[in-house]
């Protein structure tokens, strides 16, 4: 079903009584999503790694939505540590009896090679495996919440991604942009495969994917700060000159998370030229033909389960 051409945050329905969890909620797309969800009445858990940054993000959100003071809460989550992911999920499962929206938003982009606490290449480990583990651990709560949604934020960089099963962790060869694209393709494949398995299992929970187009966030600055040539710095300045704001970039993931017309397994991004800017539109999975490759999706799922050490309670055939 098509999205109306000028969909914006005013079109988000009333979310009173709903619980949302947003990862990477202290800045950028995550913070914009927190503000929009809270403004419509949701209780929002801001899942963040750094306490100080999280507190500043909450203050920034409350400056825009002061009436949400009792509905915005910080929860500790470090996606580079499976122990932290397990602790976060256990806390939420113990405290809440529903979870309406899980927005897998946090990410890192094109940084030098590093390892997570569990020995995974840091971009694949953070962007994909951390969210894969978090979603699986929170699945019991999602499944008992009628019509709950999992929204996984990917990137147009998925178009260039290849899942290198022979070198997932970049041990043989590491190129930071290739590693980033692989992790973003993994996000897309996960979202599609999760919907397939939810449908097979007969649950009302749905999985969707979204990408922001070109949006100015801390991701670009962090990437350039980590390792940048003069050319890359100049490119960043050019990028920022044409980028839309984080508020605009968050619209596709907000549509996926809240609109009654969003379709199970749907993929949403900007409707403008080359999907760079604009209000949300549904994007065919031709964004990357690998997104339609069921064999790759199933293999990635199985490998991911082996790496995180547990299996999802969902049918696969």
- Classify residue 222: in a domain, yes or no: yes
Q: What's residue 155's pLDDT?
A: 94
Answer yes or no: is 315 within a domain: no
pLDDT at 55: 98
225 within some domain: yes
Q: Which domain holds residue 162?
A: 9-306
Query: How many residues are listed for the chain in this entry?
Result: 317
Q: What is the CATH number of the domain that holds 152?
A: 3.40.50.720
Residue-level pLDDT at 276: 80
* 316 falls within a domain: no
pLDDT tens track of the chain, all 317 residues?
578 889 999 999 999 999 999 999 999 999 999 999 999 999 999 999 999 999 999 999 999 999 999 999 999 999 999 999 999 999 999 999 999 999 999 999 999 999 999 999 999 999 999 999 999 999 999 999 999 999 999 999 998 999 999 999 999 999 999 999 999 999 999 999 999 999 999 999 999 999 999 876 665 454 445 565 554 554 454 455 457 999 999 999 999 999 999 999 999 999 976 678 888 999 876 544 555 578 999 999 999 999 999 999 999 88
Residues marked active site are found at 180
If one counts the domains in the chain, the total is 1
The answer to whether 46 touches 25, Cβ cutoff 8 Å, is: yes
**313, part of any domain:** no
Beta bridge partner(s), residue 149: 101, 206
The pTM (predicted TM-score) of the whole model is 0.92
What is the model's pLDDT at position 273?
A: 61
Predicted confidence at residue 154, as pLDDT, reads: 96
Q: Is residue 185 one of the residues assigned to a domain? A: yes
- Assigned domain for 2 exists: no
């Amino acid at each position: 079903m098509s999205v109306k051409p000028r969909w914006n945050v005013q079109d988000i329905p009333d979310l009173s009584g709903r619980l949302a969890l947003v990862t990477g909620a202290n800045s950028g797309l995550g913070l914009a999503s927190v503000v929009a969800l809270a403004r419509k009445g949701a209780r929002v858990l801001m899942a963040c790694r750094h306490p100080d940054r999280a507190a500043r993000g909450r203050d920034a959100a409350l400056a825009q939505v002061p009436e949400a003071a009792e509905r915005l809460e910080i929860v500790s989550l470090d996606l580079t540590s499976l122990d932290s992911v397990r602790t976060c999920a256990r806390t939420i499962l113990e405290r809440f009896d529903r979870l309406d929206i899980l927005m897998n938003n946090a990410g890192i982009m094109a940084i030098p090679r590093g390892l997570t606490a569990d020995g995974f290449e840091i971009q694949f480990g953070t962007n994909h495996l951390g969210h894969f583990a978090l979603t699986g651990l929170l699945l019991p709560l999602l499944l008992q919440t009628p019509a709950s949604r999992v929204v996984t934020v990917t990137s147009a960089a998925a178009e260039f991604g290849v899942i290198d099963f022979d070198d997932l962790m970049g041990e043989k060869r590491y190129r930071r942009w290739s590693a980033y694209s692989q992790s973003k393709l993994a996000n897309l494949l996960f979202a599609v495969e999760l919907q397939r398995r939810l449908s097979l299992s007969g649950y009302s929970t749905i999985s969707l994917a979204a990408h922001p187009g070109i949006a100015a966030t801390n991701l670009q600055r962090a990437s350039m700060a980590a390792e940048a040539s003069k050319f890359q710095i100049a490119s960043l300045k050019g990028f920022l000159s044409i980028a839309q704001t984080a508020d605009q970039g968050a619209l596709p993931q907000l549509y996926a998370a809240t609109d009654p017309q969003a379709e199970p397994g749907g993929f949403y991004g900007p409707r403008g030229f080359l999907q760079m800017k604009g209000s949300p539109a549904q994007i065919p999975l031709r964004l990357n033909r690998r997104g339609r490759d069921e064999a790759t999706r199933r293999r990635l799922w199985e490998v991911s389960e082996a790496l995180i050490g547990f299996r999802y309670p969902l049918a696969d055939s």
